[in-house]
C-alpha cells in the first residue's frame, strides 16, 4: 500500500512524558497521594470506540493497585526501607502517565487516534511493562505485608506479565487499514464507495452531521500540534475525508444564523503583540517589513499603496517593500484564537506541487467535496432549506484554505451563488454573500468575482438593501477585500451606489457592519477619484456623526480624505466643525487616533490657508495639547505635532499668506528634539 504507517507522525501529547515528576513528600504522604492518583485512574471510563482492550486492561490493573495502596495506607509501616520510597516515586510517575494517556485518547480526534493505533497501543504496553518491573522489585518482604496484601500484589504481577506483546486490537487495525486504503484511493482520484464510507464512520460513531463537525474541529486542533508542513498536510487530508463524508452521508449542516461570529475579536482581550500597530485589530496575516516591525498584511499593503515610504511605527525609511510572513507569530495567534473560540484560518498549509508539503490526498478530497456540493446545487428538485445548507457548506469550506477557494471557483460556484444573493430567505442571502467574501480572499478569485456576470452587482445590491445587517456587513467586507487590488479600487470608487451604501451602513449599522463599512471606505480613500466621490457623498459629515463611537476608524478615514481630497475636502471639514472635534481627539484619543488627528490638522492647515490656522489657534488650550503630544506621543504623532506647532508659530508671527511646503515637515523633527515641555 502506498500510504505507510509512517505517513502519520506520532501525536504530541501535552504535557510531554518527560515532564512528569513525583511529589517531594514523606513516605506516608506519598502513599496517600498514590492511593488518590490510582483511584483517579480507576475512575476513568474505558475508551468506547477504539483501543477498548488496552484501556480496559490498564484501568483494571489500576483498580487492583488502588486496593493495594489502600491497604498500605491503612496499615502503615513504622520505618520504610529506602527501596520502598524509590518504588513509590516511580509508581507515581507511571500512574500519572497512565492517566494522561487515557485522558488524551478520550478527548482527541477519533480519526487521528485511529491513525495512531500502533504507537498508542505500544505506549499502553510499555506502561504495563514498567508497572510490572516496579512491582517485581517492590520490597514486599521488608514491608512485612499481610498475607492478603501479598496475594494481591502477586495477582497484579501475574496480570502484568500475562499482557501480550502484540496488544493491537485486530478490529482497530483492520479499520485503520481500510481508512488508509480509502485515503490512497482518493489520492488516485477514485471516489469512495458511499456504503463503505458509511460503514467506517458508523464504526467510529460519527453518525450525524454534528459529530462529524465536532470531529473536524478536533482535527483542526491536531493541526496545531504538528511541527512541520508535511505532518499538517496529512492531518488536513483526514479533515478532507471527514468533511466529504459529512456532506455525502449526512447532508449539509444547518446554518447558524444567530450571530456572525462565534466570538468577535473585539469581545476578547487581545494580547498587545497580536494587534496590528496600524489598525490595532487582531492580525490575521502578520508580515515583517524591512525595519523588523510586524503588521497585518492588508494594513501595511494599504499604507504602502497610499504613497508612504516609511515604517508606520518607527518612522524609518523602508529599504524595500518586500513583506516577509511572520509564521511563528501567525501560529501563536491561531492557537490563541482557537482557545478563545474566535474563528481563524489556522488550518491553511502551503501544499503546493513544488513544495515538500504537497498532499494530493487533501486536495482531491476537497475537489470531491466541492463537486458533490455544486452538483447538488444544480439539481432542480432541491428545497430552499437544502439549498441553504449546501451554500452554508460552501461558505465554511471557502473559509478554510486557498485550495478550497480555488476548487470552489473552478467548479463554477460563482454563477450559482448570484441568484441566491437576491433571495428572500435571510439565511440563504447571508450564506451566499459570505461565501463570495471568503472566496475573495484568494487574489485569483478577485478577478473572477469582478468579471463573472452579476456577481459584483449582486454584492452591491446586498450592500444597499440586504435583508439583514449581517448580510450588508459581509457585502461591505467583500468590497473591502476587492479594493485590495488597485484597479478594482478605482472601479468600485467610481460607483455612486457603492459609495452611498457604504456611507449609509457606516452611519446606521450595528458595530460590526459599521466597522466593515469603515475599513472599505478607508481602502477606497486611497484613490483620489474615489475620494472625490466620497466627499460628494458626504463622507466628512458621516465621520463627524460616528466620531464618538468609532473614533480611530473615523479619524483614519478623515486623514486620507483630507490628504487626497483637495480643497473640496478641506472645505467640507472646515464647515463640519472638525477642528474642535480633532482637538478633542488630540486631547483624549488613543495613540493611533492622536496620530491621525494631528496629521489631519497639519494637512487642513497647510491646504486651507490662514483662516484654517486662525480657527485652530483660537481653540482654547490647543498649544498645550500639542506640547503634550510632542512629549508623550508616538514617534509619528510627535513629528506631526511639531509640524503643527511650527505652523501655529508662523501664523502668530504674521506669516499668514504663505503655502506651507513639505520642508516644514522635515524640520519639525529637529524642533521637537530641541523643545523642552513647559512646567
pLDDT for res 242: 95
Mean pLDDT of the chain: 82
pLDDT top residue among 201 and 359: 201
pLDDT for res 268: 59
**In the beta sheet, which residues pair with residue 113?**
none
pLDDT for res 22: 60
Coil, helix or strand at residue 325: strand
pLDDT for res 4: 43
Residue range 84-88: mean pLDDT, rounded: 84
Lowest mean pLDDT among 17-26, 248-257, 463-472, 582-591: 17-26
pLDDT for res 255: 65
Lowest mean pLDDT among 244-248, 598-602, 665-669: 665-669
pLDDT for res 615: 87
pLDDT for res 264: 46
Distances in Å between the Cα of 233 and the Cα atoms of 3, 37, 219, 676 are 14, 38, 11, 58
Do residues 219 and 111 lie in contact, with contact meaning Cβ atoms separated by under 8 Å?
yes
For residue 504, pLDDT over 90 is answered with: yes
Cell of 387: 439549498
Q: Which of 263, 261, 293 is nearest to 278 (CA)?
A: 293
Coil, helix or strand at residue 288: strand
Measured at the alpha carbon of residue 663, what is the angle toward residues 658 and 668, in degrees to the nearest 5?
Answer: 105
pLDDT top residue among 339 and 263: 339
Confidence band, pLDDT 50/70/90 cuts, at residue 576: low
Confidence band, pLDDT 50/70/90 cuts, at residue 354: very low
Confidence band, pLDDT 50/70/90 cuts, at residue 468: very high
Residue range 116-137: mean pLDDT, rounded: 88
Lowest mean pLDDT among 240-244, 507-511, 603-607: 603-607
pLDDT top residue among 312 and 502: 502
pLDDT top residue among 262 and 400: 400
pLDDT for res 16: 47
Percent of the chain residues past pLDDT 70, beyond the cut: 85
pLDDT for res 59: 92
Largest Cα separation within the chain, whole Å, is 109
pLDDT for res 164: 56
Confidence band, pLDDT 50/70/90 cuts, at residue 258: very low
Cell of 189: 482520484
Tell me phi and psi for residue 94, to 5 degrees.
-60, -45
Find all residues with CB under 8 Å of 411, minimum gap 6, and list them. Answer: 367, 370, 371, 374
Give the pairing type, strands 294-296 and 286-288.
antiparallel
Residue range 545-564: mean pLDDT, rounded: 88
Confidence band, pLDDT 50/70/90 cuts, at residue 221: confident
pLDDT for res 398: 92
pLDDT top residue among 158 and 192: 192
DSSP per-residue string spanning 18-79: GG-------HHHHHHHHHHHHHHHHHSPPPSSSSHHHHHHHHHHHHHHHHHHHHHHHS--SS
Taking the alpha carbons at both ends of the chain, their separation in whole angstroms is: 81
pLDDT for res 281: 76
pLDDT for res 24: 65
Percent of the chain residues past pLDDT 90, beyond the cut: 34
For residue 37, pLDDT over 50 is answered with: yes
Confidence band, pLDDT 50/70/90 cuts, at residue 201: very high
For residue 675, pLDDT over 60 is answered with: no
Residue range 217-240: mean pLDDT, rounded: 82
Lowest mean pLDDT among 231-235, 285-289, 393-397: 231-235
pLDDT for res 194: 94
For residue 608, pLDDT over 50 is answered with: yes
pLDDT for res 158: 84
Distance between CA atoms of residues 278 and 556, nearest Å: 10
pLDDT for res 359: 79
For residue 457, pLDDT over 90 is answered with: yes
Alpha-helical runs (H) found in 188-288: 194-203, 209-224, 229-250
pLDDT for res 41: 92
Per-residue HEC secondary structure of 610-622 comes to: HHHHHHHHCCCCH
Residue labelled with grid coordinates 487642513: 604
For residue 85, pLDDT over 90 is answered with: no
Amino acid at each position: 500500500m502506498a500510504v505507510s504507517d509512517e505517513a502519520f507522525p506520532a501525536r504530541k501529547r501535552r504535557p510531554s512524558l518527560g515532564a512528569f515528576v513525583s511529589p517531594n513528600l514523606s513516605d506516608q504522604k506519598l502513599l496517600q497521594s498514590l492511593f488518590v492518583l490510582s483511584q483517579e485512574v480507576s475512575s476513568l471510563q474505558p475508551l468506547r470506540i477504539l483501543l477498548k482492550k488496552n484501556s480496559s486492561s490498564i484501568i483494571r490493573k489500576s483498580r487492583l493497585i488502588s486496593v493495594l495502596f489502600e491497604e498500605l495506607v491503612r496499615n502503615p509501616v513504622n520505618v520504610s526501607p529506602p527501596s520502598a520510597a524509590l518504588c513509590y516515586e516511580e509508581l507515581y510517575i507511571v500512574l500519572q502517565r497512565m492517566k494522561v494517556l487515557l485522558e488524551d485518547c478520550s478527548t482527541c480526534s477519533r480519526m487521528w487516534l485511529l491513525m495512531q493505533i500502533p504507537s498508542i497501543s505500544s505506549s499502553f504496553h510499555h506502561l504495563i511493562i514498567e508497572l510490572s518491573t516496579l512491582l517485581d522489585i517492590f520490597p514486599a518482604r521488608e514491608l512485612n505485608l499481610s498475607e492478603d496484601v501479598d496475594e494481591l500484589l502477586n495477582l497484579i504481577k501475574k496480570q502484568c506479565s500475562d499482557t501480550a506483546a502484540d496488544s493491537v486490537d485486530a478490529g482497530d487495525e483492520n479499520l485503520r487499514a481500510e481508512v488508509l486504503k480509502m485515503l490512497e484511493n482518493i489520492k488516485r482520484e477514485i471516489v469512495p464507495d458511499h456504503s463503505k464510507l458509511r460503514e467506517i464512520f458508523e464504526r467510529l460513531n460519527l453518525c450525524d452531521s454534528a459529530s462529524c463537525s465536532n470531529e473536524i474541529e478536533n482535527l483542526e486542533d491536531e493541526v496545531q500540534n504538528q511541527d512541520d508542513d508535511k505532518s499538517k498536510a496529512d492531518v488536513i487530508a483526514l479533515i478532507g475525508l471527514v468533511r466529504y463524508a459529512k456532506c455525502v452521508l449526512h447532508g449539509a449542516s444547518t446554518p447558524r444564523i444567530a450571530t456572525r461570529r462565534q466570538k468577535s475579536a473585539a469581545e476578547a482581550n487581545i494580547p498587545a503583540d497580536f494587534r496590528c500597530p496600524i489598525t490595532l485589530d487582531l492580525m490575521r496575516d502578520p508580515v515583517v517589513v524591512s525595519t523588523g516591525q510586524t503588521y497585518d498584511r492588508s494594513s501595511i499593503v494599504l499604507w504602502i499603496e497610499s504613497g508612504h515610504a516609511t515604517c508606520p511605527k518607527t518612522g524609518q525609511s523602508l529599504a524595500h517593500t518586500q513583506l516577509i510572513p511572520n509564521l511563528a507569530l501567525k501560529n501563536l495567534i491561531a492557537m490563541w484564537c482557537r482557545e478563545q473560540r474566535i474563528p481563524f484560518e489556522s488550518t491553511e498549509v502551503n501544499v503546493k506541487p513544488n513544495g515538500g508539503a504537497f498532499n494530493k490526498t487533501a486536495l482531491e478530497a476537497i475537489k470531491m467535496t466541492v463537486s458533490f456540493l455544486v452538483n447538488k446545487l444544480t439539481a432542480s428538485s432541491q428545497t430552499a432549506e437544502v439549498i441553504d445548507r449546501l451554500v452554508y457548506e460552501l461558505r465554511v469550506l471557502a473559509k478554510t484554505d486557498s485550495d478550497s477557494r480555488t476548487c470552489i471557483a473552478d467548479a463554477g460556484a460563482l454563477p450559482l451563488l448570484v441568484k441566491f444573493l437576491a433571495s428572500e430567505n435571510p439565511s440563504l442571502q447571508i450564506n451566499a454573500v459570505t461565501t463570495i467574501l471568503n472566496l475573495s480572499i484568494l487574489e485569483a478569485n478577485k478577478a473572477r468575482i469582478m468579471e463573472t456576470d452579476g456577481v459584483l452587482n449582486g454584492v452591491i445590491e446586498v450592500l444597499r438593501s440586504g435583508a439583514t445587517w449581517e448580510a450588508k456587513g459581509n457585502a461591505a467586507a467583500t468590497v473591502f477585500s476587492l479594493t485590495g487590488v488597485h484597479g478594482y479600487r478605482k472601479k468600485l470608487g467610481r460607483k455612486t451606489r457603492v459609495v452611498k451604501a457604504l456611507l449609509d451602513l457606516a452611519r446606521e449599522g450595528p458595530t460590526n457592519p459599521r466597522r466593515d463599512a469603515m475599513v472599505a471606505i478607508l481602502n477606497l480613500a486611497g484613490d483620489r477619484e474615489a475620494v472625490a466621490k466620497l466627499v460628494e457623498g458626504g463622507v466628512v459629515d458621516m465621520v463627524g456623526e460616528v466620531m464618538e463611537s468609532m473614533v480611530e476608524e473615523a479619524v483614519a478615514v478623515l486623514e486620507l480624505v483630507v490628504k487626497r481630497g483637495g480643497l473640496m475636502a478641506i472645505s467640507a471639514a472646515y464647515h463640519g466643525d472638525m477642528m474642535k472635534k480633532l482637538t478633542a481627539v488630540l486631547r483624549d484619543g488613543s495613540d493611533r487616533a492622536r496620530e491621525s488627528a494631528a496629521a489631519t490638522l497639519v494637512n487642513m492647515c497647510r491646504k486651507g490657508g490662514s483662516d484654517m490656522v486662525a480657527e485652530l489657534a483660537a481653540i482654547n488650550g490647543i498649544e498645550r495639547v500639542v506640547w503634550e503630544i510632542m512629549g508623550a506621543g508616538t514617534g509619528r504623532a510627535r513629528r506631526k505635532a511639531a509640524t503643527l506647532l511650527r505652523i501655529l508659530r508662523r501664523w502668530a508671527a504674521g506669516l499668514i499668506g504663505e503655502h506651507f511646503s513639505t520642508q516644514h515637515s522635515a524640520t519639525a523633527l529637529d524642533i521637537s528634539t530641541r523643545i523642552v515641555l513647559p512646567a
